[in-house]
A and B are shown apart, each in its own frame.
Chain A
Protein backbone atom coordinates (compact mmCIF):
# COMPACT_ATOMS: atom_id res chain seq x y z
CA UNK A 1 0.00 0.00 0.00
CA UNK A 2 2.75 2.39 1.00
CA UNK A 3 4.69 1.39 -2.10
CA UNK A 4 1.82 2.25 -4.47
CA UNK A 5 1.22 5.53 -2.66
CA UNK A 6 4.90 6.37 -3.01
CA UNK A 7 4.81 5.38 -6.70
CA UNK A 8 1.82 7.65 -7.37
CA UNK A 9 3.57 10.50 -5.57
CA UNK A 10 6.67 9.91 -7.70
CA UNK A 11 4.80 10.15 -11.00
CA UNK A 12 3.12 13.37 -9.82
CA UNK A 13 6.56 14.76 -8.98
CA UNK A 14 7.95 13.81 -12.39
CA UNK A 15 5.22 15.71 -14.22
CA UNK A 16 5.79 18.81 -12.05
CA UNK A 17 9.52 18.60 -12.76
CA UNK A 18 8.83 19.36 -16.42
CA UNK A 19 7.54 22.77 -15.45
CA UNK A 20 6.54 25.22 -18.13
CA UNK A 21 9.20 27.91 -17.92
CA UNK A 22 8.56 31.24 -19.61
CA UNK A 23 12.27 31.71 -20.16
CA UNK A 24 12.64 28.72 -22.45
CA UNK A 25 9.96 28.39 -25.13
CA UNK A 26 8.26 25.08 -25.78
CA UNK A 27 10.26 24.17 -28.86
CA UNK A 28 13.62 24.29 -27.02
CA UNK A 29 12.50 21.21 -25.11
CA UNK A 30 10.81 19.32 -27.95
CA UNK A 31 12.41 16.61 -30.00
CA UNK A 32 13.10 17.32 -33.65
CA UNK A 33 10.69 15.45 -35.93
CA UNK A 34 10.44 15.20 -39.68
CA UNK A 35 6.68 15.97 -39.85
CA UNK A 36 6.77 14.91 -43.45
CA UNK A 37 5.25 13.55 -46.56
CA UNK A 38 7.31 10.87 -48.32
CA UNK A 39 6.55 8.77 -51.37
CA UNK A 40 8.06 6.24 -53.75
CA UNK A 41 6.75 4.73 -57.03
CA UNK A 42 8.07 1.82 -59.11
CA UNK A 43 8.22 2.01 -62.87
CA UNK A 44 9.70 -0.30 -65.48
CA UNK A 45 13.43 0.33 -65.18
CA UNK A 46 13.61 2.10 -61.83
CA UNK A 47 11.91 4.06 -59.09
CA UNK A 48 10.89 7.66 -58.44
CA UNK A 49 11.17 8.88 -54.84
CA UNK A 50 9.89 12.14 -53.43
CA UNK A 51 9.76 14.02 -50.13
CA UNK A 52 8.96 17.45 -48.74
CA UNK A 53 11.68 19.44 -46.95
CA UNK A 54 10.31 20.52 -43.57
CA UNK A 55 11.77 19.51 -40.16
CA UNK A 56 9.90 20.77 -37.10
CA UNK A 57 10.54 21.14 -33.35
CA UNK A 58 7.01 21.65 -32.07
CA UNK A 59 5.71 24.66 -33.98
CA UNK A 60 9.11 25.96 -35.12
CA UNK A 61 10.57 24.87 -38.45
CA UNK A 62 14.12 23.89 -37.57
CA UNK A 63 15.17 23.21 -41.19
CA UNK A 64 13.09 24.31 -44.18
CA UNK A 65 15.34 22.72 -46.81
CA UNK A 66 15.88 19.24 -45.36
CA UNK A 67 16.93 16.41 -47.64
CA UNK A 68 14.92 13.41 -46.48
CA UNK A 69 16.04 11.21 -49.36
CA UNK A 70 19.17 9.61 -47.93
CA UNK A 71 21.58 7.51 -50.00
CA UNK A 72 22.19 4.06 -48.50
CA UNK A 73 24.16 2.71 -51.44
CA UNK A 74 24.90 3.66 -55.06
CA UNK A 75 21.41 2.74 -56.29
CA UNK A 76 19.48 2.41 -53.04
CA UNK A 77 17.90 5.37 -51.23
CA UNK A 78 15.57 5.69 -48.28
CA UNK A 79 12.89 8.25 -47.39
CA UNK A 80 12.87 9.15 -43.68
CA UNK A 81 9.87 10.11 -41.56
CA UNK A 82 9.36 10.32 -37.80
CA UNK A 83 12.05 11.34 -35.32
CA UNK A 84 14.97 13.02 -37.11
CA UNK A 85 17.53 11.67 -34.64
CA UNK A 86 16.21 8.10 -34.81
CA UNK A 87 16.01 7.98 -38.61
CA UNK A 88 19.44 9.57 -39.10
CA UNK A 89 21.01 7.10 -36.67
CA UNK A 90 19.26 4.10 -38.29
CA UNK A 91 20.21 5.23 -41.80
CA UNK A 92 23.87 5.68 -40.77
CA UNK A 93 23.93 2.21 -39.18
CA UNK A 94 22.30 0.52 -42.20
CA UNK A 95 24.61 2.38 -44.62
CA UNK A 96 27.57 0.94 -42.74
CA UNK A 97 26.13 -2.58 -42.59
CA UNK A 98 25.16 -2.57 -46.29
CA UNK A 99 28.55 -1.19 -47.36
CA UNK A 100 30.29 -3.95 -45.41
CA UNK A 101 27.95 -6.59 -46.86
CA UNK A 102 28.54 -5.29 -50.40
CA UNK A 103 32.32 -5.51 -49.97
CA UNK A 104 31.99 -9.08 -48.65
CA UNK A 105 29.77 -10.03 -51.58
CA UNK A 106 31.93 -8.14 -54.10
CA UNK A 107 28.80 -7.02 -55.94
CA UNK A 108 26.02 -4.43 -55.63
CA UNK A 109 23.57 -5.26 -52.81
CA UNK A 110 19.88 -6.02 -53.37
CA UNK A 111 17.21 -3.50 -52.42
CA UNK A 112 15.52 -6.26 -50.44
CA UNK A 113 18.68 -6.68 -48.35
CA UNK A 114 18.71 -2.99 -47.47
CA UNK A 115 15.02 -3.11 -46.60
CA UNK A 116 15.61 -6.19 -44.45
CA UNK A 117 18.38 -4.43 -42.51
CA UNK A 118 16.05 -1.51 -41.85
CA UNK A 119 13.31 -3.86 -40.76
CA UNK A 120 15.59 -5.78 -38.37
CA UNK A 121 16.63 -2.58 -36.62
CA UNK A 122 13.15 -1.01 -36.58
CA UNK A 123 11.53 -4.18 -35.23
CA UNK A 124 14.18 -5.04 -32.65
CA UNK A 125 14.12 -1.56 -31.12
CA UNK A 126 10.46 -0.82 -31.87
CA UNK A 127 9.74 0.40 -28.29
CA UNK A 128 12.56 2.95 -28.36
CA UNK A 129 12.28 4.18 -31.94
CA UNK A 130 9.87 6.39 -33.86
CA UNK A 131 10.76 5.82 -37.51
CA UNK A 132 8.74 5.28 -40.68
CA UNK A 133 10.99 4.50 -43.62
CA UNK A 134 10.47 3.80 -47.33
CA UNK A 135 13.39 1.98 -48.99
CA UNK A 136 13.60 2.15 -52.77
CA UNK A 137 16.17 1.52 -55.48
CA UNK A 138 17.25 -0.50 -58.47
CA UNK A 139 19.12 -3.77 -58.58
CA UNK A 140 20.06 -6.25 -61.29
CA UNK A 141 17.82 -9.06 -60.08
CA UNK A 142 14.41 -7.42 -59.76
CA UNK A 143 14.79 -3.93 -61.27
CA UNK A 144 13.03 -1.04 -59.55
CA UNK A 145 11.54 -1.90 -56.15
CA UNK A 146 9.81 -0.04 -53.32
CA UNK A 147 9.70 -1.51 -49.81
CA UNK A 148 7.96 0.16 -46.89
CA UNK A 149 8.99 -0.22 -43.22
CA UNK A 150 6.41 1.70 -41.17
CA UNK A 151 6.49 2.38 -37.39
CA UNK A 152 6.57 -0.97 -35.59
CA UNK A 153 8.89 -2.74 -38.02
CA UNK A 154 6.72 -4.40 -40.67
CA UNK A 155 8.26 -4.97 -44.11
CA UNK A 156 6.26 -5.16 -47.29
CA UNK A 157 6.90 -4.51 -50.97
CA UNK A 158 4.47 -2.18 -52.74
CA UNK A 159 4.39 -0.68 -56.25
CA UNK A 160 3.60 2.70 -54.71
CA UNK A 161 4.01 3.76 -51.09
CA UNK A 162 3.34 6.96 -49.15
CA UNK A 163 4.35 7.80 -45.60
CA UNK A 164 4.60 10.51 -42.96
CA UNK A 165 2.00 12.76 -41.35
CA UNK A 166 0.97 14.24 -44.71
CA UNK A 167 0.28 10.88 -46.30
CA UNK A 168 -3.19 10.68 -44.72
CA UNK A 169 -4.35 13.51 -47.00
CA UNK A 170 -3.30 11.91 -50.26
CA UNK A 171 -4.38 8.26 -50.04
CA UNK A 172 -7.43 9.12 -52.13
CA UNK A 173 -5.36 10.90 -54.78
CA UNK A 174 -2.80 8.10 -54.92
CA UNK A 175 -5.38 5.29 -55.08
CA UNK A 176 -7.35 6.99 -57.84
CA UNK A 177 -4.45 8.26 -59.96
CA UNK A 178 -2.02 5.34 -59.84
CA UNK A 179 -2.02 3.07 -62.86
CA UNK A 180 0.39 0.13 -63.20
CA UNK A 181 2.77 0.50 -66.14
CA UNK A 182 3.35 4.29 -65.93
CA UNK A 183 6.56 5.54 -67.47
CA UNK A 184 9.16 7.75 -65.78
CA UNK A 185 7.62 11.10 -66.77
CA UNK A 186 4.15 10.06 -65.63
CA UNK A 187 5.58 8.86 -62.31
CA UNK A 188 7.35 12.20 -61.79
CA UNK A 189 4.16 14.14 -62.44
CA UNK A 190 2.19 11.79 -60.17
CA UNK A 191 4.70 12.14 -57.30
CA UNK A 192 5.02 15.92 -57.61
CA UNK A 193 1.23 16.29 -57.65
CA UNK A 194 0.71 14.06 -54.62
CA UNK A 195 3.40 15.78 -52.57
CA UNK A 196 2.10 19.24 -53.48
CA UNK A 197 -1.39 18.34 -52.31
CA UNK A 198 -0.08 16.90 -49.04
CA UNK A 199 2.13 19.93 -48.37
CA UNK A 200 -0.83 22.19 -48.98
CA UNK A 201 -2.93 20.49 -46.30
CA UNK A 202 -0.46 19.19 -43.73
CA UNK A 203 1.10 21.80 -41.42
CA UNK A 204 4.10 19.60 -40.71
CA UNK A 205 4.98 19.27 -44.41
CA UNK A 206 6.21 22.04 -46.66
CA UNK A 207 9.17 23.80 -48.22
CA UNK A 208 10.40 22.37 -51.51
CA UNK A 209 9.78 19.01 -53.21
CA UNK A 210 12.91 16.90 -53.47
CA UNK A 211 12.91 13.96 -55.87
CA UNK A 212 15.29 11.18 -56.83
CA UNK A 213 15.06 8.95 -59.90
CA UNK A 214 17.02 5.71 -59.59
CA UNK A 215 17.67 3.56 -62.65
CA UNK A 216 20.33 1.20 -63.96
CA UNK A 217 22.25 4.24 -65.19
CA UNK A 218 22.41 5.90 -61.78
CA UNK A 219 20.66 8.51 -59.65
CA UNK A 220 19.17 11.79 -60.85
CA UNK A 221 18.27 14.38 -58.15
CA UNK A 222 15.67 17.08 -58.73
CA UNK A 223 14.24 19.95 -56.71
CA UNK A 224 10.91 21.69 -57.33
CA UNK A 225 10.85 25.09 -55.63
CA UNK A 226 7.73 26.54 -54.01
CA UNK A 227 6.72 28.74 -56.91
CA UNK A 228 7.21 25.95 -59.47
CA UNK A 229 4.86 23.45 -57.79
CA UNK A 230 1.89 22.22 -59.88
CA UNK A 231 -1.27 24.28 -59.42
CA UNK A 232 -4.45 22.43 -58.48
CA UNK A 233 -6.96 25.14 -57.76
CA UNK A 234 -6.96 28.90 -57.75
CA UNK A 235 -9.23 29.19 -54.71
Chain B
Protein backbone atom coordinates (compact mmCIF):
# COMPACT_ATOMS: atom_id res chain seq x y z
CA UNK B 1 0.00 0.00 0.00
CA UNK B 2 2.60 2.55 1.09
CA UNK B 3 5.33 1.81 -1.44
CA UNK B 4 8.65 3.68 -1.31
CA UNK B 5 8.72 6.20 -4.14
CA UNK B 6 11.79 6.12 -6.40
CA UNK B 7 11.54 9.87 -6.69
CA UNK B 8 12.24 10.35 -2.99
CA UNK B 9 14.52 13.28 -2.26
CA UNK B 10 18.11 12.00 -2.20
CA UNK B 11 20.30 14.27 -0.10
CA UNK B 12 23.54 14.93 -1.93
CA UNK B 13 27.08 14.89 -0.67
CA UNK B 14 28.35 13.47 2.59
CA UNK B 15 26.02 12.77 5.49
CA UNK B 16 27.55 13.87 8.78
CA UNK B 17 24.71 12.47 10.93
CA UNK B 18 26.76 9.77 12.61
CA UNK B 19 29.89 11.80 13.37
CA UNK B 20 28.93 12.63 16.95
CA UNK B 21 27.92 9.04 17.70
CA UNK B 22 31.13 7.69 16.12
CA UNK B 23 33.32 10.04 18.10
CA UNK B 24 31.71 8.95 21.37
CA UNK B 25 31.91 5.26 20.40
CA UNK B 26 35.58 5.63 19.50
CA UNK B 27 36.29 7.25 22.85
CA UNK B 28 34.41 4.52 24.71
CA UNK B 29 36.01 1.66 22.80
CA UNK B 30 39.54 2.68 23.79
CA UNK B 31 38.51 2.01 27.39
CA UNK B 32 38.27 -1.67 26.43
CA UNK B 33 41.56 -1.59 24.51
CA UNK B 34 39.92 -1.77 21.09
CA UNK B 35 41.29 0.77 18.60
CA UNK B 36 39.31 1.60 15.49
CA UNK B 37 41.33 0.93 12.31
CA UNK B 38 43.08 3.98 10.90
CA UNK B 39 42.42 4.98 7.29
CA UNK B 40 45.10 3.60 5.05
CA UNK B 41 47.20 6.44 3.65
CA UNK B 42 49.80 6.35 0.97
CA UNK B 43 52.60 8.20 2.86
CA UNK B 44 54.18 8.64 -0.50
CA UNK B 45 56.55 10.32 -2.79
CA UNK B 46 55.09 11.05 -6.22
CA UNK B 47 56.47 13.30 -8.91
CA UNK B 48 56.36 14.14 -12.59
CA UNK B 49 58.37 16.04 -15.18
CA UNK B 50 57.84 17.27 -18.69
CA UNK B 51 60.68 16.29 -21.06
CA UNK B 52 61.28 16.78 -24.75
CA UNK B 53 58.81 14.21 -26.11
CA UNK B 54 56.32 13.83 -23.25
CA UNK B 55 56.01 13.35 -19.49
CA UNK B 56 57.54 10.96 -16.97
CA UNK B 57 55.55 10.14 -13.82
CA UNK B 58 57.14 8.41 -10.82
CA UNK B 59 55.91 6.97 -7.53
CA UNK B 60 57.09 4.85 -4.60
CA UNK B 61 55.07 1.77 -3.59
CA UNK B 62 54.50 1.92 0.18
CA UNK B 63 51.02 2.20 1.71
CA UNK B 64 50.85 2.86 5.47
CA UNK B 65 48.13 2.36 8.09
CA UNK B 66 49.29 4.55 10.97
CA UNK B 67 52.87 3.48 11.66
CA UNK B 68 52.55 0.07 9.99
CA UNK B 69 53.21 -0.69 6.33
CA UNK B 70 49.91 -2.04 4.99
CA UNK B 71 51.09 -2.76 1.44
CA UNK B 72 54.73 -3.10 0.41
CA UNK B 73 54.00 -2.94 -3.30
CA UNK B 74 50.91 -0.90 -4.05
CA UNK B 75 50.37 0.81 -7.37
CA UNK B 76 50.08 4.60 -7.12
CA UNK B 77 50.10 5.47 -10.82
CA UNK B 78 46.48 5.26 -11.93
CA UNK B 79 45.06 5.00 -15.43
CA UNK B 80 42.88 7.91 -16.52
CA UNK B 81 42.83 7.43 -20.29
CA UNK B 82 45.15 5.83 -22.87
CA UNK B 83 47.22 9.02 -23.01
CA UNK B 84 46.78 10.32 -19.44
CA UNK B 85 47.94 8.82 -16.12
CA UNK B 86 47.66 10.16 -12.57
CA UNK B 87 49.79 9.56 -9.46
CA UNK B 88 47.93 9.76 -6.16
CA UNK B 89 49.04 10.69 -2.62
CA UNK B 90 46.93 11.01 0.52
CA UNK B 91 44.11 8.67 1.51
CA UNK B 92 44.48 5.55 -0.68
CA UNK B 93 40.74 4.96 -1.09
CA UNK B 94 40.15 8.57 -2.09
CA UNK B 95 42.87 8.63 -4.77
CA UNK B 96 41.73 5.26 -6.13
CA UNK B 97 38.03 6.14 -6.37
CA UNK B 98 38.52 9.71 -7.56
CA UNK B 99 40.77 8.65 -10.42
CA UNK B 100 38.40 5.83 -11.37
CA UNK B 101 35.38 8.14 -11.42
CA UNK B 102 37.13 10.72 -13.59
CA UNK B 103 38.54 7.98 -15.83
CA UNK B 104 35.03 6.65 -16.40
CA UNK B 105 33.56 10.11 -17.07
CA UNK B 106 36.43 10.97 -19.38
CA UNK B 107 35.88 7.81 -21.44
CA UNK B 108 32.22 8.77 -21.92
CA UNK B 109 33.31 12.30 -22.81
CA UNK B 110 35.83 10.93 -25.29
CA UNK B 111 33.18 8.76 -26.96
CA UNK B 112 30.78 11.71 -27.15
CA UNK B 113 33.34 14.05 -28.70
CA UNK B 114 35.11 11.37 -30.82
CA UNK B 115 38.44 12.79 -29.67
CA UNK B 116 41.34 11.65 -27.54
CA UNK B 117 40.86 13.38 -24.17
CA UNK B 118 42.99 16.37 -23.21
CA UNK B 119 44.93 16.63 -19.96
CA UNK B 120 43.29 20.01 -19.27
CA UNK B 121 39.87 18.32 -19.34
CA UNK B 122 40.94 15.72 -16.78
CA UNK B 123 42.37 18.54 -14.66
CA UNK B 124 39.10 20.51 -14.78
CA UNK B 125 37.02 17.46 -13.84
CA UNK B 126 39.31 16.55 -10.94
CA UNK B 127 39.57 20.07 -9.50
CA UNK B 128 35.83 20.70 -9.72
CA UNK B 129 35.07 17.43 -7.93
CA UNK B 130 37.64 18.01 -5.18
CA UNK B 131 36.49 21.61 -4.65
CA UNK B 132 32.88 20.42 -4.34
CA UNK B 133 33.95 18.22 -1.40
CA UNK B 134 35.85 21.10 0.23
CA UNK B 135 39.01 19.09 0.99
CA UNK B 136 37.23 16.16 2.68
CA UNK B 137 38.40 13.91 -0.14
CA UNK B 138 42.08 13.58 0.79
CA UNK B 139 43.51 13.18 -2.69
CA UNK B 140 46.69 15.00 -3.74
CA UNK B 141 47.39 14.15 -7.37
CA UNK B 142 50.05 14.53 -10.03
CA UNK B 143 48.30 14.40 -13.40
CA UNK B 144 50.31 14.01 -16.58
CA UNK B 145 49.73 13.11 -20.20
CA UNK B 146 50.25 13.89 -23.86
CA UNK B 147 47.44 15.13 -26.06
CA UNK B 148 47.02 16.92 -29.40
CA UNK B 149 48.34 20.16 -27.86
CA UNK B 150 51.51 18.55 -26.44
CA UNK B 151 52.73 17.19 -23.08
CA UNK B 152 51.14 18.65 -19.92
CA UNK B 153 51.68 18.20 -16.18
CA UNK B 154 49.44 19.37 -13.32
CA UNK B 155 49.55 19.09 -9.54
CA UNK B 156 46.14 18.94 -7.88
CA UNK B 157 45.61 19.58 -4.16
CA UNK B 158 42.82 18.11 -1.96
CA UNK B 159 40.97 21.43 -1.72
CA UNK B 160 40.79 21.76 -5.48
CA UNK B 161 43.60 24.14 -6.43
CA UNK B 162 45.85 23.16 -9.34
CA UNK B 163 49.23 24.28 -10.65
CA UNK B 164 50.47 23.75 -14.18
CA UNK B 165 54.25 23.34 -14.04
CA UNK B 166 57.18 21.65 -15.82
CA UNK B 167 58.04 19.60 -12.71
CA UNK B 168 55.99 18.76 -9.61
CA UNK B 169 56.23 16.61 -6.49
CA UNK B 170 53.56 15.63 -3.94
CA UNK B 171 53.22 13.57 -0.79
CA UNK B 172 55.16 13.42 2.47
CA UNK B 173 58.40 12.81 0.56
CA UNK B 174 57.82 15.73 -1.81
CA UNK B 175 60.43 17.99 -0.22
CA UNK B 176 63.16 15.37 -0.70
CA UNK B 177 62.10 14.80 -4.32
CA UNK B 178 61.79 18.54 -5.04
CA UNK B 179 65.34 19.07 -3.79
CA UNK B 180 66.57 16.65 -6.49
CA UNK B 181 64.44 18.34 -9.17
CA UNK B 182 65.52 21.87 -8.27
CA UNK B 183 69.13 20.76 -8.54
CA UNK B 184 69.05 18.84 -11.83
CA UNK B 185 65.97 19.72 -13.86
CA UNK B 186 66.54 21.21 -17.33
CA UNK B 187 63.88 21.93 -19.94
CA UNK B 188 63.72 19.59 -23.00
CA UNK B 189 65.65 16.64 -21.54
CA UNK B 190 66.03 13.34 -23.37
CA UNK B 191 63.95 10.34 -22.26
CA UNK B 192 66.76 8.43 -20.53
CA UNK B 193 67.93 11.51 -18.65
CA UNK B 194 64.35 12.30 -17.60
CA UNK B 195 63.74 8.73 -16.37
CA UNK B 196 66.98 8.80 -14.41
CA UNK B 197 66.05 12.14 -12.79
CA UNK B 198 62.59 10.93 -11.74
CA UNK B 199 64.07 7.68 -10.43
CA UNK B 200 66.54 9.65 -8.31
CA UNK B 201 63.84 11.98 -7.01
CA UNK B 202 61.65 9.08 -5.86
CA UNK B 203 64.70 7.37 -4.38
CA UNK B 204 65.38 10.53 -2.36
CA UNK B 205 61.85 10.31 -1.01
CA UNK B 206 62.11 6.59 -0.27
CA UNK B 207 65.36 6.83 1.65
CA UNK B 208 64.73 10.11 3.48
CA UNK B 209 61.00 9.94 4.29
CA UNK B 210 59.50 7.37 6.64
CA UNK B 211 56.15 7.42 4.86
CA UNK B 212 57.66 6.33 1.53
CA UNK B 213 59.47 3.12 0.69
CA UNK B 214 59.86 -0.11 -1.28
CA UNK B 215 60.11 0.15 -5.06
CA UNK B 216 60.08 2.87 -7.72
CA UNK B 217 57.37 2.78 -10.38
CA UNK B 218 57.71 4.87 -13.52
CA UNK B 219 55.29 5.78 -16.29
CA UNK B 220 56.65 7.33 -19.48
CA UNK B 221 53.99 8.89 -21.70
CA UNK B 222 54.85 10.05 -25.19
CA UNK B 223 52.77 10.71 -28.28
CA UNK B 224 51.17 7.38 -29.14
CA UNK B 225 53.05 5.28 -26.57
CA UNK B 226 52.90 4.60 -22.83
CA UNK B 227 55.62 2.69 -20.93
CA UNK B 228 54.24 1.57 -17.58
CA UNK B 229 57.38 0.35 -15.78
CA UNK B 230 56.31 -1.43 -12.63
CA UNK B 231 58.72 -1.86 -10.97
CA UNK B 232 61.30 0.25 -12.68
CA UNK B 233 63.74 -0.08 -9.81
CA UNK B 234 63.54 -2.41 -6.81
CA UNK B 235 65.26 -0.04 -4.43
CA UNK B 236 64.70 -2.14 -1.32
CA UNK B 237 65.52 -5.82 -1.64
CA UNK B 238 64.21 -8.12 1.05
CA UNK B 239 67.16 -9.42 3.00
CA UNK B 240 68.31 -13.02 2.67
CA UNK B 241 68.34 -15.04 5.89
CA UNK B 242 71.87 -16.05 6.70
CA UNK B 243 70.98 -19.25 8.55
CA UNK B 244 68.39 -22.01 8.37
CA UNK B 245 66.00 -22.16 11.32
CA UNK B 246 64.52 -25.55 10.51
CA UNK B 247 65.11 -28.25 13.10
CA UNK B 248 65.70 -31.82 11.91
CA UNK B 249 63.22 -34.49 12.86
CA UNK B 250 64.42 -36.05 16.08
CA UNK B 251 65.94 -32.86 17.58
CA UNK B 252 63.31 -32.94 20.28
CA UNK B 253 63.04 -36.34 21.97
CA UNK B 254 59.57 -37.93 22.10
CA UNK B 255 58.65 -39.32 25.53
CA UNK B 256 55.13 -40.68 24.91
CA UNK B 257 52.82 -40.96 21.92
CA UNK B 258 49.01 -41.38 22.12
CA UNK B 259 46.75 -41.72 19.06
CA UNK B 260 43.05 -40.91 19.45
CA UNK B 261 40.91 -41.50 16.35
CA UNK B 262 38.10 -38.93 16.01
CA UNK B 263 34.90 -40.61 14.82
CA UNK B 264 33.19 -38.04 12.68
CA UNK B 265 29.84 -38.61 11.02
CA UNK B 266 29.08 -37.16 7.59
CA UNK B 267 25.87 -35.18 8.21
CA UNK B 268 25.42 -33.47 4.86
CA UNK B 269 27.24 -33.58 1.55
CA UNK B 270 26.53 -31.09 -1.21
CA UNK B 271 28.31 -30.38 -4.47
CA UNK B 272 28.57 -26.86 -5.82
CA UNK B 273 29.94 -26.42 -9.33
CA UNK B 274 32.50 -23.64 -9.68
CA UNK B 275 31.94 -21.02 -12.35
CA UNK B 276 35.23 -21.13 -14.15
CA UNK B 277 34.13 -19.22 -17.25
B163 touches A23 (CB 8 A): no
A32 touches B211 (CB 8 A): no
The yes or no answer to B145 lying at the interface (CB within 8 A) is no
B122-135 contact mask (Cβ, 8 Å, vs A): 1 or 0: 00100110110011
Point out the residues of chain B lying under 8 angstroms from A13, CB to CB: 23-24, 26-27
The yes or no answer to A105 lying at the interface (CB within 8 A) is no
Question: In angstroms, how far is the closest chain B Cβ from the Cβ of A225?
Answer: 16
A24 touches B43 (CB 8 A): yes
A24 touches B172 (CB 8 A): yes
The yes or no answer to B161 lying at the interface (CB within 8 A) is yes
Asked if A32 meets B171 with Cβ closer than 8 Å, knowing A10-B20, A24-B41, the reply is no
Point out the residues of chain B lying under 8 angstroms from A23, CB to CB: 43, 64, 67, 172, 210-211
Q: Which residue of B lies closest to A28 (CB)?
A: B172
The yes or no answer to B165 lying at the interface (CB within 8 A) is yes
Compute the total of residue contacts between A and B using a CB distance below 8 Å: 74
Q: Which of B27, B124, B159, B175 has the most CB of A within 10 A?
A: B159
Question: In angstroms, how far is the closest chain B Cβ from the Cβ of A59?
Answer: 11
A89 touches B210 (CB 8 A): no
> Among residues 188 to 214 in chain B, which have CB atoms less than 8 Å away from a CB atom of chain A?
210-211
Q: Which residue of B lies closest to A31 (CB)?
A: B159
Asked if A32 meets B43 with Cβ closer than 8 Å, knowing A9-B24, A13-B27, A14-B23, the reply is no
B131 touches A28 (CB 8 A): no
B161 touches A85 (CB 8 A): yes
Asked if A9 meets B135 with Cβ closer than 8 Å, knowing A28-B172, A32-B161, A85-B161, the reply is no
The yes or no answer to A117 lying at the interface (CB within 8 A) is no
Question: In angstroms, how far is the closest chain B Cβ from the Cβ of A32?
Answer: 5
> Among residues 119 to 167 in chain A, which have CB atoms less than 8 Å away from a CB atom of chain B?
128
A89 to B64, CA, bound (A): 32
A84 to B155, CA, bound (A): 13
The yes or no answer to B85 lying at the interface (CB within 8 A) is no
> Among residues 15 to 57 in chain A, which have CB atoms less than 8 Å away from a CB atom of chain B?
17, 22-25, 28, 31-32, 55, 57
Q: State how many residues of chain B have any CB contact under 8 Å with chain A.
A: 31
Point out the residues of chain B lying under 8 angstroms from A10, CB to CB: 20, 23-24
Q: Which residue of B lies closest to A24 (CB)?
A: B172
The yes or no answer to A6 lying at the interface (CB within 8 A) is yes
Question: In angstroms, how far is the closest chain A Cβ from the Cβ of B27?
Answer: 6
Asked if A60 meets B20 with Cβ closer than 8 Å, knowing A13-B26, A24-B41, A88-B160, the reply is no
The yes or no answer to B162 lying at the interface (CB within 8 A) is yes
B24 touches A6 (CB 8 A): yes
Question: In angstroms, how far is the closest chain B Cβ from the Cβ of A17?
Answer: 7
Q: Which of A63, A85, A128 has the most CB of B within 10 A?
A: A85
A66 touches B163 (CB 8 A): yes
The yes or no answer to B51 lying at the interface (CB within 8 A) is no
Point out the residues of chain A lying under 8 angstroms from B67, CB to CB: 23
Point out the residues of chain A lying under 8 angstroms from B124, CB to CB: 92
The yes or no answer to A174 lying at the interface (CB within 8 A) is no
Point out the residues of chain B lying under 8 angstroms from A28, CB to CB: 90, 140, 171-172
Residue in A17, A88, A128 whose beta carbon sits within 8 Å of that of B23 in the complex: A17
B41-81 contact mask (Cβ, 8 Å, vs A): 1 or 0: 10100000000000000000000100100000000000000
The yes or no answer to A62 lying at the interface (CB within 8 A) is yes
